[in-house]
Amino acid sequence: MSRRPNVRSALTIAGSDSGGGAGIQADLKTFAALGVHGVSAITCITAQNPGGVLGIQACSPTILEQQLEAVVPFGPRAMKTGMLFSRALIDVVVRFVNEHPRIKLVVDPVMIATSGAALLKPSAVSALKTLLPLAAIMTPNAPEAEALSGDVVRDIEDQRRVARTLFKAFGCAVLLKGGHLKGAGDVADIFYDGDGEFLLTAPSIRGGGAHGTGCTLSAAVVANLALGQPPEEAVLRAKEFITGAIAEGAKAGRYRVLNPFWRRPGWVA
């Protein structure tokens, strides 16, 4: 009998997106596209599509804890958080992270949907700030960086300054995404880890915006970390991955969707 190969695994702790473009669904597709087995713990069930969020039903802290317990035997090398929604759910995640310090953590501080719906209760922001120091990398967009830093992010120089502010406040590397900034020809992200900084740019793709780009980018970072890449390489390759997923996106009904399988022919008919 031939010996079965091993596969690395990664964990996503996030909300479920019924539209399939963000959250758990986006993360698991990204893990699969990058050759990593994805396991998950769902924090909330959402009824949503790129046009808006129709409803949110939070899972209980108990079932979140049980989901996390169930996936530990898969041996995830890295994990990410997305939508955490409440203080009670964040408290469960903080305990889990402290109990499993060898699993590298990426925090995507999901606060507000692109449509404007709140995905994190105001009362949970302080709890989120207790999770961030446990992370290897945080991946805020400009509005999230503003909320966490109390500063404004309007251009690349603001990104550079605020990335340093966040690093000083929470002690984890910062990938500050610039996709929400208007007026630039390129989409620029800043990565800062306390030792160095680099700028990641990609041409802005006309009509290329799609739901779930932030989730997909952070999931790609996690997959790359699970594969053993150092943080700088994991971030650089994730930027290449999301750029391709946007450029090779497609239409599903009335909505544009990312193509996480852009390196594999045949996904689009």
Please spell the DSSP secondary structure of 217-256, one letter per residue. Answer: HHHHHHHHHHTT--HHHHHHHHHHHHHHHHHT-EEETTEE
Q: Mean pLDDT, the chain, as a whole number?
A: 93
Please report the beta strands in 59-97, taking only residues with DSSP state E, as ranges in sequence order. Answer: 78-81
pLDDT, mean of residues 176-202:
84
DSSP one-letter string for 172-209: SEEEE--TT--S-SEEEEEEE-SS-EEEEEEEPPTT--
pLDDT of 264 over the 90 cut: no
Q: What is the predicted pLDDT for the residue at 207?
A: 58
Residue 211: pLDDT band with limits 50, 70, 90: confident
Q: What is the predicted pLDDT for the residue at 120?
A: 93
- Bridge partners, 112 (sequence order): 118
Alpha-carbon separation of residue 110 from 54, 82, 159 (angstroms): 17, 6, 18
pLDDT, mean of residues 150-173:
96
Q: What is the predicted pLDDT for the residue at 210?
A: 75
pLDDT of 204 over the 90 cut: no
Percent of the chain predicted with pLDDT > 90:
84
pLDDT of 269 over the 60 cut: no
Amino acid 98 reads N
Amino acid 67 reads Q
Q: What is the predicted pLDDT for the residue at 176?
A: 97
The highest-confidence range among 126-135, 183-192, 196-205, by mean pLDDT, is 126-135
Q: What is the predicted pLDDT for the residue at 82?
A: 97
Residue 1: pLDDT band with limits 50, 70, 90: low
For residue range 20-41, list pLDDT tens digits in order. 999 999 999 999 999 999 999 9
Domains, the chain, in order of start with CATH, read 11-257 (3.40.1190.20)
Give the whole-angstrom CA distance, residue 9 versus residue 217: 17
Residue 208: pLDDT band with limits 50, 70, 90: low
For residue range 28-84, list pLDDT tens digits in order. 999 999 999 999 999 999 999 999 999 999 999 999 999 999 999 999 999 999 999
Q: What is the predicted pLDDT for the residue at 10?
A: 98
Coil/strand/helix, residue 106: strand
For residue range 94-132, list pLDDT tens digits in order. 999 999 999 999 999 999 877 667 899 999 999 999 999
Q: What is the predicted pLDDT for the residue at 3?
A: 80
Residue 4: pLDDT band with limits 50, 70, 90: confident
Alpha-carbon separation of residue 29 from 61, 105, 241 (angstroms): 25, 19, 12
Inter-residue contact 268 to 259 (CB < 8 Å)? yes
pLDDT of 206 over the 80 cut: no
